[in-house]
Amino acid sequence: MTDRIAPKSYTIAQITEVCGGTFNGPPDDAQRPIRGVQTLVDSGSDEVTWLVEDKHLRSLDDCKAAAVIGREDHLGGHPRAILVKDPALAVALVLDLFHRPASAPKPGVHPSAVADPTAVIGENVAIGACAVIGPGARIGKNTVICPGVSIGADVAIGENCRIFDRCVVYDRCTLGNRVILNAGTVIGADGFGYIFRDGAHRKLAHIGTVLIEDDVEIGANSCVDRAKIGATIIGRGTKIDNLVQVAHNVRVGPLCVIAAQTGISGSCRLGTGVAVGGQAGIADGVDIGDGARLGAQSGSIGNIKAGMSVFGTPARDSKEVFKNDARVRRLAALFENVAELEKRLAQLEAATHHPERG
């Protein structure tokens, strides 16, 4: 078995040190080997797990893990606890220990790849099998271009990027440093722009570009369309999930998170730190303020103020939506109550003496 595929192993003491925590168990137990990370329910005796939320406390009694990472208010008396202040961050650090990076081509240009003579390829760049690098393209040092990638003419890609298999970056697009494009992502295809004339849809030329800033990651099979004029922009540090559509001339601010199957229509503006749930839809030209949150499957047809949490279609303040939803769930009982009241009212009216009836 090669070192590349050999299982990793760390002692509880080493994991505790990485977490910056304290192990509740005896010193001898701290030397037990840990070979993986698993959930509370599925963990085994050579694995470490974690607990973040109160709702998972019920699973703790049946947990077989060698150690459990969590806060003191959850695990203070647990004999196998690794006590930390921030369990989510601690688990992220532990996952880094056991992470195995995806295989990558070696530095240099694979014999089957095609790099135009005018392309500028930086130091220690790796270009995989059957990749194509267009004329005038510039690729920064330590960037990895995986097999089957197509990089268009005059594309600029920064340093330490990772462009996974079969991505396409159209002409004249720009990627910053440490950008990750997961497999099948398409950057810079024409936006969806037509006018209807003479019985046919006439295509509008998209003469703009796409700018992706530093530290952005875009999930598999997502698309960021070219601007009609100017640039479609994805701000620094933003993370986009799989199967997301970002239309022409959208501007996504820094540090946003956008979950899978979201569709963002043309010319929308997302501020800093916006969070968008899965399958959300945002109509043309909508502005979403800093720190706003859109729940899953929300449909936003109007502007959203900074800091708001919205849900539903059309998207409205989450508290209002949940309150109205609770009222709707009581409608069946309400109808029954009203029917019963009508019945009683009819009985009372029938029993009441009316002079006009003699």
DSSP secondary structure of 311-354: ETTTTEEHHHHHHHHHHHHTHHHHHHHHHHHHHHHHHHHHHS--
User: How far are the Cα atoms of 20, 22, 34, 85 from residue 51, in angstroms, in the given order?
Assistant: 16, 15, 17, 12
- The fourth-level CATH superfamily of domain 108-318 is Hexapeptide repeat proteins (2.160.10.10)
Decide if 10-98 and 108-318 have a common fold.
no
Give the pLDDT confidence score for residue 356 in this predicted structure.
56
pLDDT value of position 36: 94
With 90 as the cut, is the pLDDT of residue 97 above it?
Answer: yes
pLDDT at res. 328? 80
Contact 276, 257 (CB under 8 A): yes
Question: Who's near 15: CB < 8 A, 6+ residues apart?
Answer: 34, 48, 67, 82, 94, 97
pLDDT tens digits, residue range 146-194? 999 999 999 999 999 999 999 999 999 999 999 999 999 999 999 999 9
**Least confident among 78-87, 144-153, 195-204, 328-337:** 328-337
Distance (Å, rounded) from C-alpha 15 to C-alpha 30?
9
Taking the C-alpha atoms of residue 120 and residue 109, their distance in angstroms, rounded to an integer, is: 12
| Catalytic annotation, pick one of 74, 78, 206, 248 | 248
110 is a catalytic site residue: no
Answer whether residue 3 shows pLDDT above 50: no
Q: Tell me the CA end-to-end span of the chain in Å, nearest whole number.
A: 105
Average pLDDT, the chain: 93
Q: Where are the domains of the chain?
A: 10-98, 108-318
Q: Which fold has domain 10-98?
A: 3.40.1390
pLDDT at residue 287 is higher than 80: yes
Q: DSSP character for 15?
A: H
